[in-house]
Amino acid sequence: MKFRQHPQCEGHEFSDSLCKLEQAGNKTVNTTAIKHLQKKMAWGEGELPTDDLIGDLYEAALRQEGFLDVFQLVTESLGANVFHMFSWDGLRNAPQLSIYTPDVNWDAVIQRYEQYYGALDPRRAFVERAATGEFVFCQDHLSEQDVARSEFFQDYQIPSGLRYLTGVRLARAGGDDILLGLLRAKERPPYTERDRAAAASMAGHLQRSINLWQDARILHRDAALGNELMEQLGLAVFALDRNSRVVFVNQAAEAMLRATSCLRLDHQRLAATVAAENDGLQAAMARVEKTRKGESLALRAASGAPPEIFLSIAYLPGRDTRAAFGDATILVTARRRGTTPLVSARQLQEAFRLTVAEAAVAEALIRGKAPDEYAASAGVSLATVRTQLRAIYDKTNTRSQAEAVGAMLWVLSQARNER
């Protein structure tokens, strides 16, 4: 592949990226990326703006805006032209979840790597064997004779316009390691000692920013999906901070506050109308904050009246999750009496081919119960519940309680929409 350059920017290391961003037309363009490219060109060659880019790399990762564009700038500041990151699927002997320089011209090149040439790549073994966070340079392991005899280089890498690579293995908590490759155009010389030092200084930032970006992607997706699901299922959602102030409500919650007389906002705090029940509500929220174990309760419009509102109170784990709801620590979901329950054990059994026991556990999870709470109420051992949980994860193709609940609610809500 030929690396295009803007006529007015010829000779500048970053001109290709700036040209692509300026030519994006009506597409969303990351202004931070453009500013850094212009600044780099104003500084001239030989200066590495990595320190100046680090803050923007983290900001873009968290905000999900232009992260790959900023990552490309960091790639170029480290002396490379293209980046490619992926995890390796040992069963398929192929890369998976490839992420690479944001340019459609690389789509076909990466596709060929995924379909065939990735399995032939001799450099991957060097990167995998190195310590986490340690950059490896292919020029230290492969001679010119090795390259001349290599099908990978002669039939794929060099015809694609690339030659030298520096790669690093980055740890991904709860998932497979990420292999990141920074590749140079074939016309360029091997990496220098200065390039090595620059790469080593950035390894920690690259790992943290990639993990932050991937975590934020999941968080943004789950937050959007979760809110959509709750709206579909008629759940009112209230998010409270550690001072019990309401910092987020969805549309169903706003409607509930207008329609019911047993739940209200009192100086931005969630309160029950009946004094005794308000005492119970405040005590329950305080216990959840302290113990981090969910609780449920019902509210009445007046003493002696039947319950009208059913609440589920849960603790929000994780700083990023709390930040998505305005630094909330407590999530309260509510539904009115007479509304159809979210799901039944029978629905779960039919939809996911669960056993009766597994469906009962799944139903409890959706209702907000922790595994130990369900085990105590059902009179079974926690070990038995954990075995059933593993079966649920397997049948819903998930890896955690949150993922399993989301998957089950999503499938069932879609089935409800189709009827």
Query: Does 280 reside within a domain?
Result: yes
Query: Does 84 reside within a domain?
Result: yes
Query: What pLDDT does residue 380 have?
Result: 93
Are 44 and 107 within one domain?
A: yes
If you ran DSSP here, which 8-state letter would residue 338 be given?
T
Query: Does 371 reside within a domain?
Result: yes
Are 79 and 185 within one domain?
A: yes
Domain CATH number, residue 403: 1.10.10.10
pLDDT band at 129 (very low <50, low <70, confident <90, very high): very high
Cβ-based neighbour number of residue 53 at 10 Å: 24
Are 184 and 312 within one domain?
A: no
218-261 pLDDT, tens per residue? 555 555 545 555 555 567 888 888 888 888 888 788 888 888 78
pLDDT > 50? residue 17? no
Query: Does 211 reside within a domain?
Result: yes
Could you tell me which residue, 342 or 129, shows the higher pLDDT? 129
Q: What's the mean pLDDT when you consider all of the chain? A: 78
Number of domains in the chain: 3
pLDDT band at 43 (very low <50, low <70, confident <90, very high): very low
The last residue of one of the domains, among 166, 188, 218, is 218
Average pLDDT value for residue range 145-156: 95
Query: What pLDDT does residue 102 have?
Result: 86
Domain CATH number, residue 257: 3.30.450.20
- Nearest CA to 98 among 109, 108, 84? 84
The last residue of one of the domains, among 218, 253, 273, is 218
Average pLDDT value for residue range 6-24: 43
Are 106 and 204 within one domain?
A: yes
Burial status of residue 356 (CB atoms within 10 A of its CB: 0-12, 13-18, 19 or more): exposed
Distance between CA atoms of 241 and 257, rounded to whole angstroms?
A: 19
Distance between CA atoms of 406 and 233, rounded to whole angstroms?
A: 12
Would you list the DSSP string of 210-233?
HHHHHHHHHHHHHHHHHHHHHHHT
Are 83 and 172 within one domain?
A: yes
The last residue of one of the domains, among 194, 218, 242, is 218
Query: Does 227 reside within a domain?
Result: no
Query: Does 409 reside within a domain?
Result: yes
Which of left, alpha, beta for 325 (phi over 0: left; psi -120 to 50: alpha)? alpha
Which of left, alpha, beta for 12 (phi over 0: left; psi -120 to 50: alpha)? beta
168-204 pLDDT, tens per residue? 999 876 667 889 999 999 999 999 999 999 999 889 8
Are 326 and 273 within one domain?
A: yes
The dihedrals phi and psi of 83, each to the nearest 5 degrees, come to -120, 150
Query: Does 223 reside within a domain?
Result: no
Query: What pLDDT does residue 23 have?
Result: 46
Are 283 and 388 within one domain?
A: no
Query: What pLDDT does residue 230 have?
Result: 56
pTM, full prediction: 0.51
63-84 pLDDT, tens per residue? 766 888 889 999 999 999 999 9
Are 307 and 414 within one domain?
A: no
Domain CATH number, residue 202: 3.30.450.80
Whose structure tokens read 């960091």? 74
If you ran DSSP here, which 8-state letter would residue 47 be given?
-
Query: Does 226 reside within a domain?
Result: no
Are 310 and 382 within one domain?
A: no
Are 397 and 252 within one domain?
A: no
Are 379 and 356 within one domain?
A: yes
Q: 254: domain range?
A: 233-339
Are 177 and 260 within one domain?
A: no
Q: How far is CA 284 from CA 20, 252, 304, in A?
A: 55, 22, 21
Average pLDDT value for residue range 117-139: 94
- Nearest CA to 116 among 157, 83, 177? 157
State the number of CA atoms in the 13 A half-sphere of 164 facing the CB.
20
Q: How far is CA 183 from CA 30, 78, 140, 177, 262, in A?
A: 23, 10, 15, 19, 63
3-state secondary structure of 393: helix
Query: What pLDDT does residue 173 have?
Result: 66
